[in-house]
Amino acid sequence: METIDLRSDTVTKPTAAMRDAMYRAPVGDDVYGEDPTVNELEALAAAKLGKEAALLVCSGTMGNLVALLAHCGRGDEVILGDRSHTFLFEQGGMAALGGITPYPVPNQDDGRLRLDDIGDAIRPDNPHFPHTQLVCLENTHNMCSGSPIPVSYMTEVAQFAHSRGLKVHLDGARVFNAAVALGVDVRDLVGDTDSVMFCLSKGLCAPVGSMVCGSADFIAKARRVRKVVGGGMRQAGIIAAAGVVSLEQMTDRLVEDHVRAKHLADGLAGLPGMEVAPTTTNILYFQITDDVSKSPAQVESEMAEQGVLVNSRGGGRFRAVTHYGIDDDAIERTVRVMTEVMR
């Protein structure tokens, strides 16, 4: 019985077209700027997002770190959400490696930060305080039910930040999911940001890699930072070739993942003892209620025994993520398994 892996869209395998492109990719030394496939990918990513330039990095965590280090100096402060991936799941890299202080403010349930909270977090010009330099947003927002954040809000925050001399960085790990869910061009979502990171290795199915996009001057700084954190790669065209296929072939199909996540949410919502969060993209959160006799660990274990893997988030809360490797049959089987487990 084939395992249904709903833990994350990071478990996607490269497509046949990606494997062929990787095999055939012309390569060079990317640190010298001589890898033609990397150069192609970076130009394509910049054009897709409407930015001047782009940079290939190893991972989303590296991409966010590189962006923050390029924007900020030691002692600067960054305003970000208290449920953001950068704050919770990137090992405090901005502080550990960059001497940058995070200033977390509350994420609303849909992932937004209130403008008043951002404004209150901006430090006055006072020698006792760090210098506020940057606002970080996340779209879609992983810990807030995978919510897509609309263009109007992105524009509003950018205008607010810029009017106060701050830059805006977007953790857009799944920004193409946001664009598809909202029915907008991804360029409109990121047009007012100063930098954006997005992942090739999640819903877009590439085996490795993320992109950082921004102005030409910003990417020049980011390229230097990438080198010092160990991200300078050589014949990286083998990686980049899969990313080219991602951007050319895999963005539009993300709607299929969203439809399947909604079908899964509808199926689970009908089960006793189950609470399902609103589902708008490929990320689904569900929770077992207090009256269920089984512990969350038992539920997770029994699902795994029947070949369905989900991600436990603590407190009886679980995450399931649909992706290229999940078809309609997998959704139906997952509902059947959960029905049996909750019986």
Question: What pLDDT, in 10s, does the model give residues 162-199?
Answer: 999 999 999 999 999 999 999 999 999 999 999 999 99
> Any idea which architecture 14-250 has in CATH?
3-Layer(aba) Sandwich (3.40)
Q: Could you tell me the pLDDT band of residue 1, with boundaries at 50, 70 and 90? A: confident
Q: Count of residues for the chain?
A: 343
Q: Find out whether 309 and 335 touch, Cβ atoms under 8 Å.
A: no
Percent over 90 (pLDDT), the chain: 96
Question: What pLDDT, in 10s, does the model give residues 47-93?
Answer: 999 999 999 999 999 999 999 999 999 999 999 999 999 999 999 99
What pLDDT shows up at residue 248? 98
What pLDDT shows up at residue 291? 86
What pLDDT shows up at residue 119? 98
CA distance 340 to 267: 13
What pLDDT shows up at residue 101? 98
Domain locations in the chain?
A: 14-250, 253-342
CA distance 33 to 39: 8
SS3 of the chain: CCCEECCCHHHCCCCHHHHHHHHHCCCCCHHHCCCHHHHHHHHHHHHHHCCCEEEEECCHHHHHHHHHHHHCCCCEEEEEECCCHHHHCCCCHHHHHHCCEEEEECECCCCCECHHHHHHHCCCCCCCCCEEEEEEEECCECCCCCECCCHHHHHHHHHHHHHCCCEEEEECCCHHHHHHHHCCCHHHHHCCCCEEEEECCCCCCCCCCEEEEECHHHHHHHHHHHHHCCCCCCCCHHHHHHHHHHHHHHCCCHHHHHHHHHHHHHHHHCCCCEEECCCCCCEEEEEECCCCCCCHHHHHHHHHHCCEECEEEECCEEEEECCCCCCHHHHHHHHHHHHHHHC
Q: Find out whether 222 and 5 touch, Cβ atoms under 8 Å.
A: no
Q: Find out whether 228 and 65 touch, Cβ atoms under 8 Å.
A: no
What pLDDT shows up at residue 316? 86
Average pLDDT, the chain: 97
Instruction: Determine whether domain 253-342 maps to CATH 3.90.1170.50.
Output: no
Question: What pLDDT, in 10s, does the model give residues 119-160?
Answer: 999 999 999 999 999 999 999 999 999 999 999 999 999 999
Question: What average pLDDT does the segment 235-252 reach?
Answer: 98
